[in-house]
Amino acid sequence: MKKPVKVAITGAAGQIAYSLIFRVASGSMLGPDQPVILQLLDIPDALEKLKGTVMEVDDCAFPLVTETIASADPMEAFDGTDYALLVGARPRGPGMERKDLLEANAKIFSVQGKALSEKASRDVKVLVVGNPANTNALIAQSNAKKLDPRQFTAMVRLDHNRALSQLAAKTGSKTTDISKMIIWGNHSATQYPDITHTLVGEKAAVNLVDQEWVEKDFIPTVQQRGAAIIKARGLSSAASAASAAVDHMHDWALGTNGKWVSMGIPSDGSYGIKPGVVYGYPVTCANGKYEIVQGLSINEFSRSRMDATEQELREERAAIEELLK
Ligand SMILES: NC(=O)c1ccc[n+]([C@@H]2O[C@H](COP(=O)([O-])OP(=O)(O)OC[C@H]3O[C@@H](n4cnc5c(N)ncnc54)[C@H](O)[C@@H]3O)[C@@H](O)[C@H]2O)c1
Ligand SMILES: O=C(O)C[C@H](O)C(=O)O
């Protein structure tokens, strides 16, 4: 049996966590042979509710869960953490844009970045789910002076999975037939779901659908999917968000075998996106590390979409600049 690893989940009393904790505990994220210690963090007011979730974790008698800790103190919850899933933040309600969340949620991530820097494993892998995820990841990363910036990532995997599902439906294929999907940029309405390199089986996706569908249907549907779910459910997406978080960490930790996935990562100048933002890129993962897929040709349409979503991230950054020091 492997040595247990510590998995911290914040917002542990919330609705995404109510799905995520049980997927992690069952082995979906790190594999069926990897025991886990769950470190669950929420605010003091939510601890009573979190107690109920912990009771349910106990009642599942998961073979892989060796210990469950519930806490309202990030310094306690991140002690020795190997994998941190930062979910805890206020979600968007009907009619709100992600920008509206910036101020409310930004401070959470400066506190948690500092705590991770002090207490987590030196190899911790951090995924930020709480919105606005890219800029929150930037805040956490900037406040974690003792960790490598590359240890901080943001979730655009839900957008990636949504894009797979839309294209599969349109082309009458299965999501598993589709490869080389890309989400560039921000997890927001400016994101650019790019199918110019995508294959459906052996065929180029651009030859199976027309550009009008891409521009008028596919891209807006993926960009607006979060809002559509909020409208339909009265609550933001939860089970699908948890599933995407599991996919993101699974692939980062265990590798993608050459498959492309999309991750929000610190920009390094690749594809003309200057350093200083956390930007969605196509990556492959191996040996616990991700690498940006390099050398892709970028047409004029893609360039303008990629620049627009970068611009939004720069504006978000400007709004919270003082939290980056
Ligand atoms: N990146 C994505 O693709 C994606 C998808 C869906 C939702 N989200 C975002 O995920 C976040 C959580 O969504 P939810 O539906 O689970 O919300 P929720 O309101 O059900 O749960 C949020 C939880 O976070 C807790 N919390 C607040 N401040 C905290 C802090 N400082 N430390 C620890 N916990 C704290 C709250 O008490 C609550 O229990 C929201 O910001 C939402 O917009 C992101
Ligand atoms: O859109 C939202 O605010 C929720 C979430 O980020 C989503 O994409 O479902």
Q: Are residues 76 and 147 in the same domain?
A: yes
Atom of ligand 1 nearest to the CA of 17: 16
Residue 97 pLDDT exceeds 80: no
- Count of all residues that appear for the chain in the document: 325
Q: Are residues 12 and 138 in the same domain?
A: yes
Cα of 323 from ligand 1 centre, angstroms:
20
Closest CA to 263 of 286, 243, 244, 276: 244
| From 162, 230, 240, mutation site for ligand 2 pocket: most ligand atoms within 8 A of C-beta | 230
- The CA–CA distances, whole Å, from 76 to 57, 96, 134 equal 20, 33, 25
Query: Looking at residues 242-254, what average pLDDT do you find?
Result: 98
Closest CA to 254 of 287, 281, 282, 284: 287
Q: Which of 187, 197, 248, 250 is catalytic?
A: 187
Whole-number pLDDT of residue 5: 98
Q: Are residues 127 and 223 in the same domain?
A: no
Torsion angle of C-alpha atoms 171, 176, 179, 181, degrees rounded to 10: 70
Look at residues 154, 177, 204 and tell me which one is the last residue of a structural domain.
154
Going by the annotation, the residues of the binding site for NAD(+) are 11-17, 42, 105, 112, 129-131
Whole-number pLDDT of residue 177: 98
As a whole number, the mean pLDDT across the chain is: 96
Whole-number pLDDT of residue 91: 76
Percent of the chain surpassing pLDDT 70 = 100
Largest Cα separation within the chain, whole Å, is 55
Look at residues 113, 139, 154 and tell me which one is the last residue of a structural domain.
154
98/184: higher pLDDT? 184
Cβ–ligand 1 contact at 132 (below 6 Å): no
Q: Are residues 149 and 282 in the same domain?
A: no
Active site residue 187: yes
Take atom 6 of ligand 2 and give the residue whose Cα is closest. 226
Query: Looking at residues 178-205, what average pLDDT do you find?
Result: 98
Express each pLDDT in 7-44 by its tens digit. 999 999 999 999 999 999 999 999 999 999 999 999 99
Pairing status of strand 203-204 against strand 199-200: antiparallel
289/103: higher pLDDT? 289
Q: Residue 228 sits in a domain of what CATH number?
A: 3.90.110.10
Residue 310 pLDDT exceeds 90: yes
Percent of the chain surpassing pLDDT 90 = 93
Closest CA to 151 of 129, 130, 123: 123
Q: Are residues 48 and 128 in the same domain?
A: yes
Cβ–ligand 1 contact at 242 (below 6 Å): no
Residue 295 pLDDT exceeds 70: yes
How many domains would you assign to the chain? 2
Amino acid identity at 197: H
Cβ–ligand 1 contact at 138 (below 6 Å): no
Whole-number pLDDT of residue 90: 82
Query: Looking at residues 57-77, what average pLDDT do you find?
Result: 98
Among 65-69, 134-138, 174-178, 316-320, the minimum mean pLDDT is found in 316-320
Q: Are residues 143 and 97 in the same domain?
A: yes
Whole-number pLDDT of residue 206: 98
Atom of ligand 2 nearest to the CA of 240: 9
Query: Looking at residues 259-263, what average pLDDT do you find?
Result: 98
Cβ–ligand 2 contact at 262 (below 6 Å): no
Look at residues 154, 172, 205 and tell me which one is the last residue of a structural domain.
154
Residue 96 pLDDT exceeds 80: no
Q: How far is the first Cα of the chain from the last one, in angstroms, to the nearest whole number?
A: 43
Q: Are residues 65 and 162 in the same domain?
A: no
Q: Are residues 172 and 74 in the same domain?
A: no
Cβ–ligand 1 contact at 14 (below 6 Å): yes
Residue 220 pLDDT exceeds 80: yes
Whole-number pLDDT of residue 100: 77
Whole-number pLDDT of residue 82: 99
* Phi, psi (rounded to 5 degrees) for 256: -115, 0
Cα of 128 from ligand 1 centre, angstroms:
10
Q: Which ligand is nearest to the CA of 225?
A: 2
Q: Are residues 166 and 61 in the same domain?
A: no
Q: Residue 67 sits in a domain of what CATH number?
A: 3.40.50.720
Cβ–ligand 1 contact at 158 (below 6 Å): yes
Cβ–ligand 2 contact at 229 (below 6 Å): yes
Banded model confidence at residue 98, pLDDT cuts 50, 70, 90: low
Whole-number pLDDT of residue 213: 98
Q: Which domain holds residue 114?
A: 5-154
- The CA–CA distances, whole Å, from 90 to 1, 16, 40, 71, 322 equal 38, 12, 17, 18, 21
Whole-number pLDDT of residue 196: 98
Residue 134 pLDDT exceeds 80: yes
H/E/C letters for each residue in the chain? CCCCEEEEEECCCCHHHHHHHHHHHHCCCCCCCCCEEEEEECCHHHHHHHHHHHHHHHHHCCCCEEEEEEECCHHHHCCCCCEEEECCCCCCCCCCCHHHHHHHHHHHHHHHHHHHHHHCCCCCEEEECCCCHHHHHHHHHHHCCCCCHHHEEECCHHHHHHHHHHHHHHHCCCHHHEECCEEEECCCCCCEEECCCCEECCEEHHHCCCHHHHHHHHHHHHHCHHHHHHHHHCCCCCHHHHHHHHHHHHHHHHCCCCCCEEEEEECCCHHHCCCCCEEEEEEEEECCEEEECCCCCCCHHHHHHHHHHHHHHHHHHHHHHHHHC
Whole-number pLDDT of residue 204: 98
Half-sphere exposure of 150 (CA within 13 A, CB side): 10
Take atom 9 of ligand 2 and give the residue whose Cα is closest. 226
Q: Which ligand is nearest to the CA of 136?
A: 1
Q: Are residues 297 and 172 in the same domain?
A: yes
Take atom 8 of ligand 2 and give the residue whose Cα is closest. 226
Q: Are residues 72 and 100 in the same domain?
A: yes
